[in-house]
A and B are shown apart, each in its own frame.
Chain A
Amino acid sequence: MSLAFRLLLIVGAFAAFYVMIRNIRKSRLQVGDSVFWTLFAILLVLLAVIPEIADFFGHIFGILSTVNLVYLVIITILIYRVFSLTLRISEMDGKLKELARKIALEEADKRNSEKH
């Protein structure tokens, strides 16, 4: 990995961390959701500071250029994240429907009991 690319990784990591902290301070991001991004930023810094890690795994998997391994790692992590977010959206979707239905049914019951 070139020095410029390693610096880029570090800058990216710190930028991500900064954006996250700002949103936590504004109470827009729940701290629990920030764990992933914190670990992600730490991983990027690790890969940049100790390029031997990427070299080692690149060698094992037969990837000629270490940079490609870094891409692979980032893409894999992001795909996993997208999937876990999809799961969460599905779950929230279900909860929202359940909530709306409950309110609607209760209101109907109330209306009917007022009539009688």
Chain B
Amino acid sequence: MRLLVIIPAYNEEENIARVVNDLRDHYPQYDYVVINDGSRDHTLQVIKDHQFNYVDQPINLGLSATFQTGLQYALNHGYDAVLQFDGDGQHQPQYIQSMMDKMEEGYDIVVGSRFVDKPKPHSLRMFGSNLIGMMTKICTGQTIKDPTSGMRMLSKRIIELLAKDINLGPEPDTIVYLIRCGAKLTEVPVEVKERIAGESYLNITRSIQYMLNVCLNIMLIGWFREKVDLEK
């Protein structure tokens, strides 16, 4: 199975070299592509200096569209699976192998989960995570312990479905939609590091917007969306 690690990078000049060097030097068996999403800082220069494999988006398109660029890249180059991997150093490459093992068992979506065998801490962020998990359970019957994890591996038929649709970004509501279309999902325990440098994308306003968006999509609009038969 050929895997492509997709690393979206927006204003990650402080992190991107460390993250990609670690992946490239210690895990050369995985192909990767860094996608610069029109960063305003020196991210592109850092990528060029280290001679990483990269795609450069001339303007900022947001995470969804950036990830889709990666999916299109994977399709063009004939990959069988992709992994969404943060450019800020939170995700650890040593867990890629166990996720791939699951994928080879025939799963479509493998989520790198922080809470498979560990309890969730109590915080506002985890309240949001629980809420999304509960809605996922109601709508699909499937339990996802870490629905907001950004470390997800996707199979080829999912890549083909997601690469073009404007409404299927790498978010929990897309996962719900995919499960309802018949995708098989499982979770693999991973550990996540705290972000070392730079700033998180999510502030209070964005978090509320995000939750509103995801909740409405799962609970209301999701029911009216046309299902795709994945077996075809």
Which chain A residues have a beta carbon within 8 Å of chain B's beta carbons? 21, 24-25, 27, 30-32, 34-35, 38, 95, 98-99, 102-103
Q: Which residues of B contact A102 (CB under 8 A)?
A: 58-59
Does B203 have its Cβ within 8 Å of any Cβ on chain A?
no
Choose from A27, A31, A95, A103 the contact partner of B217 (Cβ within 8 Å): A31
Contact in complex: B221, A38 (CB < 8 Å): yes
Taken together as a complex, chains A and B put the C-alpha atoms of A21 and B167 apart, in Å, by 12
Give the distance to chain B from A37, nearest Cβ to Cβ, in Å.
Answer: 10
Taken together as a complex, chains A and B put the C-alpha atoms of A35 and B215 apart, in Å, by 10
Contact in complex: A34, B221 (CB < 8 Å): yes
Residue of A nearest to B165 (CB): A27
A-contact 0/1 string along B64-84, CB 8 Å cutoff: 000000000000000000000
Does B166 have its Cβ within 8 Å of any Cβ on chain A?
yes
Contact in complex: B166, A35 (CB < 8 Å): no
A99-B59 in contact given A24-B167, A27-B167, A32-B213 (Cβ < 8 Å): yes
Q: Which residues of A contact B212 (CB under 8 A)?
A: 35
Q: Which residues of B contact A35 (CB under 8 A)?
A: 209, 212-213, 216
Other than A21-B221, A31-B167, A35-B212, give 13 A-B pairs with Cβ distance below 8 A.
A24-B167, A24-B224, A30-B167, A32-B213, A35-B209, A35-B213, A38-B220, A95-B59, A95-B60, A98-B59, A99-B58, A99-B59, A102-B58
Give the distance to chain B from A84, nearest Cβ to Cβ, in Å.
Answer: 12
A-contact 0/1 string along B23-67, CB 8 Å cutoff: 000000000000000000000000000000000001110000000
Choose from B166, B213, B220, B225 the contact partner of A25 (Cβ within 8 Å): B225
Which chain B residues have a beta carbon within 8 Å of chain A's beta carbons? 58-60, 165-167, 173, 209, 212-213, 216-217, 220-221, 224-226
Choose from A24, A95, A99, A103 the contact partner of B221 (Cβ within 8 Å): A24
Give the distance to chain A from B163, nearest Cβ to Cβ, in Å.
Answer: 13
Kindly count the residue-residue contacts between A and B in the assembled complex, taking CB atoms under 8 Å apart: 38
Residue of A nearest to B173 (CB): A31
Taken together as a complex, chains A and B put the C-alpha atoms of A24 and B58 apart, in Å, by 28
Taken together as a complex, chains A and B put the C-alpha atoms of A108 and B166 apart, in Å, by 32
Residue of B58, B209, B212, B226 with most partner-chain A CB within 10 A = B58
Taken together as a complex, chains A and B put the C-alpha atoms of A98 and B57 apart, in Å, by 12
Q: Which residues of A contact B173 (CB under 8 A)?
A: 31
Those 4 A-B pairs whose CB atoms lie nearest each other, nearest first? A21-B224, A102-B58, A31-B167, A95-B59
Residue of B60, B167, B209, B225 with most partner-chain A CB within 10 A = B167
Taken together as a complex, chains A and B put the C-alpha atoms of A32 and B216 apart, in Å, by 10
Q: Which residues of B contact A95 (CB under 8 A)?
A: 59-60
Q: Which residues of B contact A30 (CB under 8 A)?
A: 166-167
Residue of A25, A32, A98, A99 with most partner-chain B CB within 10 A = A32
Taken together as a complex, chains A and B put the C-alpha atoms of A35 and B211 apart, in Å, by 11
Q: Which residues of A contact B165 (CB under 8 A)?
A: 27
